[in-house]
């Protein structure tokens, strides 16, 4: 993904809202990129631009050499939101199968994919349950399974673990890293948590308050294989400091 000089202004009843300003970024295949910045700085908007759901006012963006809209039609993306977004009247398996039904896959193929992704997120045997029968963390894993079932190369994750307690979040962070290593997906991940961004990412994108600009892009020197206790290492703490400094500097300028 390549973004060059992206600008986006929303026209609203109360006047224009300048959401993104001069955003330049490269995301390589297999990267795990986190976006961190204050509320309203345009993180979600940028993800939506990548997905072809929002059109920039100026600048260029390509995804796998295509326009975001073409990439969306080529099913390059899977999406995971903050709220798991599962339909309460469908079982977990039927939730996962919904996009596959829309894609027109045969019943046996839908079943095969559902089993595979449920096992990837460690939810074997839960396909027949309804969302309300699962804990918040399990619902979020089911939502990730649904995005994986699509088999898209790029996963867009918008604060998927924001509503979960820290212990569940830690566990899902570890599981997500493991999944990423096994599936070789490219992940764009929005978070408000510095430790989460540093723990997960190969690249951390720090954004300033609105209009969202990129104030720092940190290429993580941490190894791909990361146990949770890497968070106590000197390297980890140094990166976390740099993110915090970037957030502070951005807040001061605006
Ligand atoms: N469709 C829209 N029309 C008008 N304004 C919008 C629209 N979508 C987003 N905005 C505004 O653009 C700005 C950026 O919003 P966005 O949701 O991208 O921020 P964010 O960084 O993801 O915030 P948060 O961390 O709170 O989720 C906000 O001021 C928001 O109100």
Dump pLDDT digits (tens) for 99-131.
888 888 899 999 999 999 999 888 999 999 999
Residue with the smallest CA separation from ligand 1 atom 24 is: 39
Are residues 211 and 245 part of one domain?
yes
Whether residue 243 lies inside any domain: the answer is yes
Contact 84, 142 (CB under 8 A): yes
Domain end residue (candidates: 151, 172, 189): 151
Domain boundary among the residues 151, 179, 195 is at: 151
What average pLDDT does the segment 76-96 reach?
A: 86
Which residues neighbour 131 within 8 Å (Cβ) at sequence distance 6 or greater?
A: 84, 86, 87, 88, 92, 95, 139, 142
CA atoms within 13 A on the CB side of 50: 31
**52 neighbors 69 (Cβ within 8 angstroms):** yes
Closest C-alpha to ligand 1, atom 3: 10
Last residue of a domain, one of 151, 174, 190: 151
Q: What is the pTM of this model?
A: 0.92
- Shared domain check, 244 and 144: no
pLDDT of amino acid 171: 87
Rg of the chain (C-alpha set): 18
> Are 70 and 162 within one domain?
yes
Claim to verify: residue 68 and residue 164 sit in the same structural domain: yes
Residue-by-residue DSSP string for 153-209: SEEEEESTTTTS-HHHHHHHHHHHHHHHHHH--EEEEEES-HHHHHHH-SEEEEEPS
d(CA 89, CA 95): 9
What pairs with residue 79 in β-bridges?
Answer: 156
Residues 43 and 24 in one domain: yes
pLDDT of residue 163: 77
End-to-end CA distance of the chain: 28
Residues 17 and 129 in one domain: no
Domain count, the chain: 2
Q: Are 66 and 168 part of one and the same domain?
A: yes
Residue 81 lies in a domain: no
CB of 203 closer than 8 Å to CB of 33: yes
Q: Which of 221, 216, 245 is closest to 233 using CA atoms?
A: 221
Range of the structural domain that residue 135 is part of: 87-151
Average pLDDT, the chain: 92
Using CB distances shorter than 6 Å, the residues near ligand 1 are 10, 12, 17, 19, 37, 39-45, 210
Same domain assignment for residues 66 and 99: no
């Amino acid at each position: 993904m390549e973004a060059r000089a992206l600008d986006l202004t929303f026209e609203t009843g109360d006047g224009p809202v300048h959401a993104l300003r001069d955003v330049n970024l490269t995301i390589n295949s297999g990267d795990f990129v986190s976006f961190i910045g204050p509320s309203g700085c345009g993180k979600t908007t940028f993800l939506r631009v990548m997905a072809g759901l929002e059109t920039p006012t100026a600048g260029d963006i390509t995804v796998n050499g295509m326009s975001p809209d073409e990439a969306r039609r080529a099913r390059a993306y899977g999406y995971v939101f903050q709220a798991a977004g599962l339909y309460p009247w469908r079982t977990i398996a039927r939730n996962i199968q919904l996009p596959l039904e829309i894609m027109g896959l045969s019943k046996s193929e839908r079943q095969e994919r559902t089993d595979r992704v449920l096992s990837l997120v460690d939810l074997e045997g839960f396909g027949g349950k309804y969302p309300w029968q699962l804990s918040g963390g399990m619902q979020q894993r089911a939502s990730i399974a649904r995005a994986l079932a699509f088999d898209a190369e790029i996963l867009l994750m918008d604060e998927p673990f924001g509503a979960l307690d820290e212990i569940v979040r830690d566990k899902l962070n570890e599981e997500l890293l493991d999944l990423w290593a096994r599936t070789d997906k490219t992940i764009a991940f929005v978070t408000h948590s510095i430790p989460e961004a540093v723990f997960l990412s190969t690249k951390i994108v720090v954004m300033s308050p609105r209009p969202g600009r990129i104030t720092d892009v940190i290429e993580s020197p941490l190894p791909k294989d990361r146990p949770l206790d890497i968070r106590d290492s000197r390297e980890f703490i140094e990166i976390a400091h740099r993110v915090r400094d970037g957030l502070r500097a951005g807040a001061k300028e605006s």
